[in-house]
Amino acid sequence: MVPISYNLRNLKVRKTTSAAAAFGLALVVFVFASVLMLSNGIKKTLGRSASPDAALVLRKGATAEIESVIEDANVNLVLNDTSLPQSVSGPRGVSESVVVILLDKIGADGFSNAAVRGIRPDSFAFRPSIKIVEGRMPQEGSDEVVIGRAISGRFKGLTLGESFELKKNRSVKVVGVFEDGGSSNESEVWADIDTVRTAFKREGYTSAIRVRVSPSQFDTFKASIESNRQLNLAVMKEAVYYEKQSEGTSLFISIMGTMIALFFSIGAMLGATITMHAAVANRQREIGTLRALGFSKASILFSFLLESIILSIIGGGIGALASLAMGLVSFSMVNFASWSEIVFRFEPDGGVIVGSMIFATVMGLVGGFLPAIRAARINPIEAMRA
């Protein structure tokens, strides 16, 4: 077997071509890792909004809160269901209305959708993880709103102390900014439920009901609500709901990003192939000498293939490390499920790095395979004469 030090020395001697090939591989891995991180960020952003002991009640057939309509008369029937725990810390449940409004964006031409959640006094108590970090809480029954940290400053009027039109001729003022650990709640505007329902003529109706129910009691509660045909409601765990909300957008990002990375990878593999072919052409005497010393065709093939893999690992490692910087970047786009803009972050983790390095190794294998076969087939006598 040809010593690995031989391959490392050759990469060092041909540092210009090696660096060019590694840079191309690093760029592809950077794109690939960034795509995985963004897809991961979409799932985690929505997943952070879910509580493990919360269930969501929607109208049957609705896939999102904005599609659901529940009569107020049915809200009390749900919240007073006997299958719910009789004693819990904080509110047993809360009903809210969700609408989408069109706002002008800041720093970019055009506009986009923003989600507005009509809340009740118990909404903050139901989600103890939410904290006001600037300003104050809105007064009940007023035209005051609070906004999530992620969406603050992204739309005209969505800044502390400013005002915007909830509906034409219905202006509301931003009096506070809240945080929720980077969840999708931070991409929403929260207003008094009566203000929202009056502005959009939805008096007497709500979008969804959230209830506090332990995992052991969930199936009983679900069966109790869904078996009542008069209610016409469906129950799901909050975690399951947000997982479904992330599927469409995450899949779209993954497919588009992977296609881009694959196109880039073809170029990178061609670059690696050309680099290794050039190396084979310039090292025919070396290869002939190795064969004369008794190294087999398989040893030569493995040696050149290993050299390509080492090159890809170096480039992949650089690209993967560079992609970690994307963890500081936030990215906003319209979530296909809610049709409102949500701010995501690139979320790096061990799986992304491992997947990126595997991707880089595969590129090295594919790019170096043909040059390695060419090197293994070189006739030692002809190589020595070259």
Positive or negative: CA dihedral 336, 338, 343, 349? negative
Say if residue 208 is in the same domain as residue 93: yes
Say if residue 40 is in the same domain as residue 65: no
Angle at CA of residue 299, ends 294 and 303, nearest 5° = 125
Torsion angle of alpha carbons 360, 271, 310, 36, nearest 10°? -10
Report the DSSP beta bridge partners of residue 178. 132, 148
The answer, yes or no, to whether residue 77 has pLDDT greater than 60, is yes
Say if residue 19 is in the same domain as residue 41: yes
Look at residue 195 and tell me if it is in a domain.
yes
Compute the distance between CA of residue 33 and CA of residue 349 in angstroms, rounded to an integer: 10
Whole-model pTM over 0.85: no
Residue 87: predicted pLDDT: 62
Within 13 Å, how many C-alpha atoms sit on residue 45's CB side? Answer: 31
User: What is the number of domains present in the chain?
Assistant: 2
Confidence of residue 232 (pLDDT cuts 50, 70, 90): very high
Look at residue 35 and tell me if it is in a domain.
yes
Say if residue 28 is in the same domain as residue 110: no
Look at residue 258 and tell me if it is in a domain.
yes
Structural contact between residues 346 and 329, judged by C-beta atoms closer than 8 angstroms: yes
Where is the domain boundary, 184, 206, 231?
231
The answer, yes or no, to whether residue 386 has pLDDT greater than 60, is no
Spatial CA neighbour of 183 closest among 94, 117, 86:
117
Say if residue 205 is in the same domain as residue 255: no
Compute the distance between CA of residue 313 and CA of residue 319 in angstroms, rounded to an integer: 10
Say if residue 129 is in the same domain as residue 261: no
Confidence of residue 88 (pLDDT cuts 50, 70, 90): low
Give me the long-range contacts of 243-246 (CB less than 8 A, separation at least 24). Answer: 243/43, 243/46, 243/47, 244/63, 244/337, 245/46, 245/64, 245/184, 245/335, 245/337, 245/338, 246/42, 246/43, 246/45, 246/46, 246/47, 246/335, 246/337
> Of how many residues is the chain composed?
386
Look at residue 329 and tell me if it is in a domain.
yes
Residue at token pair 């203000």: 195
Look at residue 55 and tell me if it is in a domain.
no
As a whole number, mean pLDDT of residues 326-351 equals 83
Where is the domain boundary, 209, 231, 253?
231
Say if residue 260 is in the same domain as residue 289: yes
Phi and psi dihedrals of 202, rounded to 5?
-125, 35
Look at residue 284 and tell me if it is in a domain.
yes
Where is the domain boundary, 199, 231, 263?
231
Structural contact between residues 130 and 178, judged by C-beta atoms closer than 8 angstroms: yes
Say if residue 136 is in the same domain as residue 276: no
91-117 pLDDT, tens digit per residue, is 889 999 999 999 988 876 688 899 999
Average pLDDT, the chain: 87
Look at residue 276 and tell me if it is in a domain.
yes
Say if residue 35 is in the same domain as residue 75: no
Report the DSSP beta bridge partners of residue 109. none
- Domain range for residue 77? 61-231
As a whole number, mean pLDDT of residues 159-184 equals 92
The 3-state DSSP class for residue 58 equals: strand
Say if residue 271 is in the same domain as residue 338: yes
Say if residue 107 is in the same domain as residue 42: no
User: Which of residues 177 and 7 earns the better pLDDT score?
Assistant: 177
| Burial class of residue 242, CB neighbours in 10 A (0-12, 13-18, 19+) | buried
Residue 252: predicted pLDDT: 80
The 3-state DSSP class for residue 341 equals: strand
Compute the distance between CA of residue 81 and CA of residue 75 in angstroms, rounded to an integer: 10
Say if residue 124 is in the same domain as residue 272: no
Confidence of residue 42 (pLDDT cuts 50, 70, 90): confident
Confidence of residue 1 (pLDDT cuts 50, 70, 90): low
Look at residue 56 and tell me if it is in a domain.
no
